Copies of this chain bind each other. A is one copy, B any other.
Amino acid sequence: MCKIDISRLSFNHMTAKKYDLYSLVDTCSHLGIRYVGMWRHKIAEVGLEQAANLLQAYGIRASSLCRGGMFPASNEEEFADHIDDNKRAIEEAAYIDAEVLVLVCGPAADKDLSKARYMVEKGIDALLPYARSCGIRLGIEPMHPVFASDRSVIVTMEQANDLIDKFNDEYLGLVLDTFHIWWDPKIDEQIRRAAGRILGFHVNDYPRVVDRSPLVAREMMGKGVIDIRRIRIAVESAGYMGPIEVEIFNDQLWNMPLSELLSYTKESFLQHV
């Protein structure tokens, strides 16, 4: 049956974005959830030191920190600013002992996707030595092509694998998210190719019809068209046995009381992941 173990569940903060880190960590702890996916702006609400203390006090691990990336820029100065910001993200990831810094690589500054993709490569090249010195691995998250205009010019696992091949550095890998990769005709071959480089795995579902802004169109596992278990097993076959983050941007879920949402998440995780 290949059932999933609840010990691998990580709850991404953005799935309950109205709540602060105190409530999140406390409620996760009560429900036996051992990992959370962290976001920089949610850490900033409580302060970095306090965030690290909270995790430690509750014995909860940060499965990832979101996000670094956003490399493309319209000029050299802006590009340098992006690199500086990424260095701060690496420092924060190290401070909270996150397993990986997620790279959402950024959109093009103009209409030139090739140039933007080149800047992503240049940005990763500039960051890797610092990431290594801080002990933080960088995980490229290929995003669904619907976000190519505003979030990431890296839209397929094949692109991410190609980039990782170029660097061949143990501090660079992929973060996979079912919403972003489920449609890809090369999903199986590229997950296999990513063996040993998968640094994170996010789950959520894709609606039968995207009738709203795609940013908030993600669904709870089981509510959409993705065969999530099949993908999870493929990801495990490629050697990834780490935490699995539930990351869902969805207005209805955002309006649920936290403990109810977390219980619903656990149940859906066990049934569909």
Q: Which residues of A contact B (CB under 8 A)?
A: 107-108, 111-113, 117, 144-150, 155-156, 158-159, 182-185, 206-215, 224-227, 230
Contacts and interface: CB of A to CB of B under 8 A. Distances in A.
Nearest to A154: B185
B111 A185 contact: no
Prevailing SS type, chain A contact patch:
loop
Contact of A185 (B144, B159, B227): B159
Stoichiometry, as copies per complex, reads: 2
Given A185-B158, A227-B111, A214 B146 contact: yes
A134 B247 CA distance: 51
Contacts of A230: 111
A211 B217 CA distance: 11
Nearest to A155: B183
A214 B111 CA distance: 20
A34 to B, nearest CB: 29
B145 A210 contact: no
A148 B227 CA distance: 13
A208 B145 contact: no
